[in-house]
Amino acid sequence: MATAQPAPPAAAPLQGVLTLSTTATVELPQDWMVLTLSVNREGTDAGAVQTQLKQAVDAALAETRRVAKPGQVEVQTGAFSVQPRYNQKGQLNGWQGRTELTIEGRDMAAIAQLSGRIGTMTIARVDYGLSREAREKVEGEVSAQAVGRFRARADELAKQFGYGGYVIREVNVSTDGAAPPPMPYARAGMMKAEAADIALPTEPGKGSVTANVSGSVQMK
């Protein structure tokens, strides 16, 4: 019969370990605009509804491609759906479809002008944010600030607990960009004929990049 082996002794709990986190934030002007256009069509024939949606998007794409430029004015199509429509009795009485088109980039003036020249789609949402280049430009600065605060806070707390200093056990650094939520945009009846060539007013405001530093130190 095998002899039972004694369980290994439990590891002694760590002493003088401090867990903490710090953050730093840098604000800067938002330099990226995202304009979402949409179009809805209804009819008794699904194929006809689909064709009407496609024609609306094709016309908008043709207008956008005239000024499209990487990083400045970029365009991409979005969701495209055609669904059955039912009456109150649950009977099929037609079809309804919707599709979207997104125009984005740094050239806000050009994008705003496009909003007035595209007559086949209406404005659904307007977003502002930071371009990848703008975020990357300040990520090093904001990370350095957060790390400096982490080290200073660790040193301060270690001394308050009666220790002479500390060594870092583990640490994690992350950054993220914050922006306001997208703004829905509506006009009475979305009367594009009367609004032709009228640019969308733009006011991007500011965005922010935040660095988070969290981890633990061994006080010594």
What are the distances in angstroms from CA 6 to CA 3, 11, 155?
9, 15, 42
3-state class of 37 per DSSP?
A: strand
Residue 14 pLDDT: 67
Residue 178 has pLDDT above 80, yes or no: no
Task: Enumerate domains of the chain plus CATH numbers.
Answer: 16-31+130-187+202-220 (3.30.110.170), 32-129 (3.30.70.360)
Residue 194 pLDDT: 42
Residue 100 pLDDT: 97
Residue whose token pair is 């530093």: 213
The percent of residues above 70 in pLDDT, for the chain, comes to 84
Q: At what angle do helices 46-65 and 108-117 cross, to 10 degrees?
A: 140
Residue whose token pair is 């604000």: 27
Secondary structure (DSSP) of 189-200: GG-TTTTTTPPP
Residue 202 pLDDT: 83
pLDDT tier, 5 (very low <50, low <70, confident <90, very high otherwise): low
Q: What is the identity of the amino acid at 111? A: I
Q: What is the C-alpha separation between 73 and 214, in angstroms, rounded?
A: 38
Query: Which tokens go with 39?
Result: 């179009």
Secondary structure (DSSP) of 170-184: EEEEEEEEE-PPPEE
Taking only the tens place, the pLDDT of each residue in 117-171 is 999 999 999 999 999 999 999 999 999 999 999 999 999 999 999 999 999 999 9
pTM: 0.75
Helices (H), 66-131: 108-117
Residue 190 pLDDT: 40
Q: What is the C-alpha separation between 24 and 175, in angstroms, rounded?
A: 9
